[in-house]
Amino acid sequence: MRSALIISCCLFLGVATCNASNFKAPNRGPIVQESNPYVTTHYLYAGNIAIGVSDLGGGYVNYFSVPGSENIASAQYGKGWQGSIRDHLHSGRYNPTQAGFMDNAGAPVIVNNTVNKISIPPFQMALFGDPVYDFTQHEDLVKDYSGYKDSGRLDKDGIDESGKSQDAELRSEFDYQGHYENVSNLTSQYDVSAIKHIYRNTYVRSPNAIKQFGPSAILESGEPVYKPSRITTDVSKLLPGNQTTSAIDLSGVVFTAYGIRIKTSAGFNFGMWHDGAKWNSVNKSSFDGRGNEKKFQINESSLEPRNNKYKKLNNNLLILSKGTSANSSAAIGIYAPNSNRNKYQLIGRDGKTGDIEYSEDRRTLSLMMFSHVTSSQLGIRTRYFLTGLMAPNRGKNGHVEGVRHETYILYGTPENILRAISQL
């Protein structure tokens, strides 16, 4: 039996927040609009660091400052701090997310800003393109990304969308909800500044936009987008019967739960981790380029056996540091605790109230990694591979499914950060 945790009420940071009035995000106007990804609209100060988000970029992080540096965050849409959902069944092209892909289309959202918290209420996530699959026929809201390799053609999803609009093409089935919170009071004794981030993405709407990634859709390579060979026979061992994925579900989910990306010029050029006995470090050159990420496995269970291809990381903490001294180097850490949000990352919510009524561990592989994909930025990502996620009513009648995550962003020396996570 797959490990699962049943939850009878919907808790978000310990407070019941889901009800019929705020469960499903309302339509607040155009799903995207032209905007500047480098403009930060809201800030949160935590100890001696600050984080900032854009209310025209889905609340993604495009600002992060540390002592001696004003903003070291990579800010471009699609290159800022956020998570993502993709899946093998749709060739990784269906990608509801907060902020887009190297263009000037941002998702306008509400952001609530208090002294110790930035909150992003539920909003409908947009779909953003990439250079290998153009699914938008219309460009009435924003022009397509200029780097599309589409040979002058406008749309390859195989669907007649005459009479529709770009707004309809870009509205995903998913809602996002999340917040950033100053929790430096928990770590200040170690001279560490800390920000807690939790969020969830929920498949709350009847399938519509996802059909653009179905059997008729074609990649620029000529290959189909939809891959029936990646269908999962049963995504859940918790729910009775077999939940077999179809073109409107997600299968072989690649859930990049969170990623930070900082400017290479900021000088945090060493990756560090603690193996339980000592500190280890590598220069950024060892994980330079796409496909060369340095990956660590962070979970092991009967459903997720030990994969000897990756080092085992027991404390779920990776650090980018300015030097290799654990006691004196300035460092930024990302910590993904073994909390219920991260162990039981798949949630099933009542379709009317939003209450969480089941949660489940559907992980087949859990990783954290250092990346240096482009010369201008390097980062840390947490990534889970899940069996699948079902469209509304297809996992359990009357319910919608989603994913959730909890992560901590920390600043201090590597040794102090390691000590500080014991308080989190």
At residue 98, what are phi and psi to the nearest 5 degrees?
Answer: -70, -45
8 A C-beta contact, residue 187 and residue 424: yes
pLDDT above 90 for 104: no
- Predicted local confidence at residue 1, as pLDDT: 31
Domain for residue 98, yes or no?
Answer: yes
Q: pLDDT tens digit string along 241-268?
A: 999 999 999 999 999 999 999 999 999 9
Domain for residue 415, yes or no?
Answer: yes
Residue 381, both tokens? 């990502």
Domain for residue 99, yes or no?
Answer: yes
- Predicted local confidence at residue 123, as pLDDT: 97
Instruction: Provide the residue range defining the domain that includes 175.
Output: 6-423
- Predicted local confidence at residue 378, as pLDDT: 96
Domain for residue 231, yes or no?
Answer: yes
CA–CA separation, 296 and 301 (whole Å): 15
Q: pLDDT tens digit string along 4-57?
A: 443 333 444 433 344 444 589 999 999 999 999 999 999 999 999 999 999 999
Tokens 């900082």 sit at which residue?
262
Nearest residue to 369 (alpha-carbon basis) of 257, 276, 279, 264: 257
Q: pLDDT tens digit string along 149-185?
A: 666 657 899 999 999 999 999 999 999 999 999 999 9
- Predicted local confidence at residue 102, as pLDDT: 65
Domain for residue 1, yes or no?
Answer: no
Question: Is 13 or 194 the better-scoring residue by pLDDT?
Answer: 194
- Predicted local confidence at residue 351, as pLDDT: 95
pLDDT band at 98 (very low <50, low <70, confident <90, very high): very high
User: What's the domain count of the chain?
Assistant: 1
Residue 277, both tokens? 């006995």
- Predicted local confidence at residue 100, as pLDDT: 80
- Predicted local confidence at residue 6, as pLDDT: 37
Question: Is 129 or 76 the better-scoring residue by pLDDT?
Answer: 76
8 A C-beta contact, residue 100 and residue 78: yes
Q: Once rounded to an integer, what is the mean pLDDT over residues 323-338? A: 98
Is the pTM above the cut of 0.85? yes
Amino acid at 355: D
Nearest residue to 238 (alpha-carbon basis) of 307, 176, 303: 303
Domain for residue 122, yes or no?
Answer: yes
pLDDT band at 3 (very low <50, low <70, confident <90, very high): very low
Q: pLDDT tens digit string along 356-402?
A: 999 999 999 999 999 998 899 999 999 999 999 999 999 999 999 99
Amino acid at 421: I
Nearest residue to 134 (alpha-carbon basis) of 144, 142, 123, 122: 144
- Predicted local confidence at residue 324, as pLDDT: 97
Amino acid at 102: M
